[in-house]
Amino acid sequence: MSGKEYRTITDVKGPLVFLNKTEPVAFGEIVQLRMSDGSMKNGQVLDTSNEIVVVQVFEGTAGINLSTGVKFMGDVFKLPVSEGLIGRILDGAGRPRDGGPEIVADQKDDIIGAAINPFSRQSPHDFIQTGVSAIDCCTTLVRGQKLPIFSASGLPHNDIALQIARQASLKGSDEEFIVVFCAMGITAEEYNYFRTDLERTGALENAVLFVNLADDPAVERIITPRLALTAAEYLAFERDYHVLVIYTDMTNYCDALRQIGAAREEVPGRRGYPGYMYTDLAMLYERAGIVKGKKGSITQFPILTMPGDDITHPIPDLSGYITEGQIVISRELHQQGIYPPINVLPSLSRLMGSCIGEETTREDHKSVSDQMYAAYAQGRELRGLVAIVGEDALNERDKQLLDFSAVFEDKFLRQGRDEDRTIEETLDLCWNLLSAIDLKYLVRLDQKWIEKYHPDNRE
């Protein structure tokens, strides 16, 4: 089947090529296109019939003409996988980018991946300490979770992702994470920043990088995360590794999706994105988790930039509907010079409840976290009121809460890019900061924990 080369292209439109008079071609089949100068492009079948075949070309259709040769490879897209992936840098289509040899494959895996049987999943419950107080205390990350960073252009989401990649550890265990890093349409500068940092800390030896940069073909971005997740699944479920997948920037991925939809003249959903974008994103995000009988796990940390800082934009919106919470980066905090500028109020970790407490983090965690959140939320709200009526109009309680909100940002949120706080340090810090507020206003703290942890009651 893969021998024959067709020269029957009838139409070229955007990233799509239409051709006819082929033998039966499979849906999803991989395609090779040979340009007149002998260079090759790759594609995949999007629609196939006795009359017409539609091929999506990953490298863009520049240079393709009606006499371009098209060869069908007889199989769907597969990634050669083995432990040899670890330490390697590949391009957005899975070819070595580091000058190294081809990957010696143990097996070849279909990159679309199969859905994990919901009955075969295991509920995630292992606490991952990121060393970042805002995350560990308020939006706790759990091994096997998918927790995206909702950011926007110009904000330090990359630093946060790198810090997490460096520091993430399982409390009381020296098990290391393998980082699978997937770049989609980021700039060369951003990429170098990632790579240099991973090199500097030696993490690169324990990482696999799939890299599609801003000047690489946009359509290739459709497959890059699938390659990364296929590698992750192999390492987690065949080789027992705990894998942390970081992908950035999902917004570029979604834009590539929109481009293909437009070329196919599909009826668009909201803001021009395809109606099936929810399903498409779910096919990526749902490849996180833990399954019965396998030692490894996949934790996902997708990064997306919200166009116009708008959380209701389809990209963050549909992501939020699929992931298990979100970490929201705030421009306002960033402008105040606070790193990491995490706004804990709209942030959420839905799996937090399953991983905090006496046996995993500390017995007072929930109580402290609720109180920190509530006090900060009230303090922030008072800022608006103060702007109208002035600080003097506040009663004692409100004054304390208002002051607390500033301290919260300055002492609790703010930390160094290399500062790795243990969960005990984070929680002790919370108690110290909360102690500036009269106990009678701290209604969410359990009496038991006040007696044990409040600075007034400790030596």
Partner 1 sequence: MSDEGTIFRVSGPVVTAIGMEAGMYDVVRVGNEGLMGEVIELHGDKAVIQVYEDTSGIRPGEPVRNTRETLSVALGPGLLTQIYDGIQRPLPTLEEVMGVFITRGVDADAFDLERKWTFEATVAVGDEVGSGQVIGTVQETETIVHKIMVPPGKGGIIKSIESGDFNVTHTVCTLEDGTEMQMMQKWPVRTPRPYQQKYAPDTPLVTGMRILDFLFPLAKGGTAGIPGPFGSGKTVTQQSLAKYSDAQIVVYIGCGERGNEMTEVLDEFPHLIDPNTGKPLMNRTVMIANTSNMPVAAREASVYTGITIAEYFRDMGYDVALMADSTSRWAEAMREISSRLEEMPGEEGYPAYLSSRIAEFYERAGRVQTLDGDDGSITVIGAVSPPGGDISEPVSQGTLRIVKVFWGLDAGLARQRHFPAINWLNSYSLYPQSLNQWFRDNIAQDFPEIRTEISGLLQVESELQEIVQLVGSDALPIDQQLTLEVARMIREYFLQQNGFHEVDAFCSIEQQYAMVKAILTFQESAKNAIAAGAQLDDVVNVPARSNLIRARFEKGYIDVIGEMVEKMVEEIAATVEEN
Ligand X SMILES: Nc1ncnc2c1ncn2[C@@H]1O[C@H](COP(=O)(O)OP(=O)(O)OP(=O)(O)O)[C@@H](O)[C@H]1O
The CB-nearest residue to ligand X is 350
DSSP β-ladder status, 121-122 and 290-291:
antiparallel
Structural Rg of the chain based on CA atoms? 25
Q: State how far the Cα of 404 lies from the Cα of 392, in Å rounded to an integer.
A: 16
**Buried/exposed code over 159-189 (b: 16+ C-beta within 10 A; e: otherwise):** ebbbbbbbbbbbeeeeeebbbbbbbbbbeee
Whether residue 443 contacts residue 378, with contact meaning beta carbons closer than 8 Å, is answered with no
Q: Which does 270 bind (CB under 5 to 8 A by kind): partner 1, ligand X, none?
A: partner 1
DSSP letter string over 250-305?
Answer: HHHHHHHHHHHHHHTTPPB-GGG-BTTHHHHHHHHHTT-BEETT-S-EEEEEEEEE
User: Backbone phi, then psi, for 242, in 5-degree steps?
Assistant: -90, 120
Of 107 and 196, the one with the shorter C-beta distance to partner 1 is 107
Task: Name the one residue in this structure whose structure tokens are 């980018």.
Answer: 97
Report if residue 29 touches partner 1, rule: CB under 8 A.
Answer: yes
Of 84 and 269, the one with the shorter C-beta distance to ligand X is 269
Q: Which does 346 bind (CB under 5 to 8 A by kind): partner 1, ligand X, none?
A: partner 1
Whether the bond into 302 is cis, omega within 30 of 0: no
Part of the chain binding partner 1 (CB under 8 A), chosen from 41-49, 159-167, 249-257, 401-409:
41-49
Q: Which of residues 98-117 bind ligand X (CB under 6 A)?
A: none
Q: Which does 123 bind (CB under 5 to 8 A by kind): partner 1, ligand X, none?
A: partner 1
Q: H/E element holding 321?
A: helix 314-322
Report if residue 411 touches ligand X, rule: CB under 6 A.
Answer: no
State the nearest-atom distance from the C-beta of 384 to ligand X, in Å: 24
Residue 411 Ramachandran class (φ > 0 left, ψ -120 to 50 alpha, else beta): alpha
Per-position x/- string for 306-325, each x denoting binding to partner 1 as judged by CB under 8 A, each - no binding: ------xxx--xx-xxx-xx
Q: Which of residues 340-359 bind ligand X (CB under 6 A)?
A: 350
Q: Which of residues 119-138 bind partner 1 (CB under 8 A)?
A: 119-124
Q: Which does 104 bind (CB under 5 to 8 A by kind): ligand X, partner 1, none?
A: none
Per-position x/- string for 359-398, each x denoting binding to partner 1 as judged by CB under 8 A, each - no binding: -----------x--xx--x-------x--xx---x-----
Q: State how far the Cα of 154 lies from the Cα of 338, in Å rounded to an integer.
A: 14
Part of the chain binding partner 1 (CB under 8 A), chosen from 183-191, 194-202, 287-295, 421-429:
287-295
Q: Which does 24 bind (CB under 5 to 8 A by kind): partner 1, ligand X, none?
A: partner 1
Q: Among 47, 66, 56, which residue's Cα sits nearest to residue 8?
A: 66
Of 320 and 341, the one with the shorter C-beta distance to ligand X is 320
Of the candidates 321, 332, 335, 452, which one interacts with ligand X according to CB under 6 A? 321
Q: Which does 293 bind (CB under 5 to 8 A by kind): ligand X, partner 1, none?
A: partner 1
Of 27 and 321, the one with the shorter C-beta distance to ligand X is 321
Q: State how far the Cα of 217 lies from the Cα of 215, in Å rounded to an integer.
A: 7
Report if residue 286 touches partner 1, rule: CB under 8 A.
Answer: yes
- At 39, the amino acid letter reads S
State the nearest-atom distance from the C-beta of 326 to ligand X, in Å: 10
Residue 386 Ramachandran class (φ > 0 left, ψ -120 to 50 alpha, else beta): alpha
Part of the chain binding partner 1 (CB under 8 A), chosen from 126-134, 199-207, 210-218, 345-353:
345-353
Q: Applying CB under 6 A, what is the total number of residues that bind ligand X?
A: 2
Of the candidates 2, 39, 50, 335, which one interacts with partner 1 according to CB under 8 A? 50
Whether the bond into 249 is cis, omega within 30 of 0: yes
Q: State how far the Cα of 322 lies from the Cα of 319, in Å rounded to an integer.
A: 5
Interacting residues toward ligand X by CB under 6 A:
321, 350
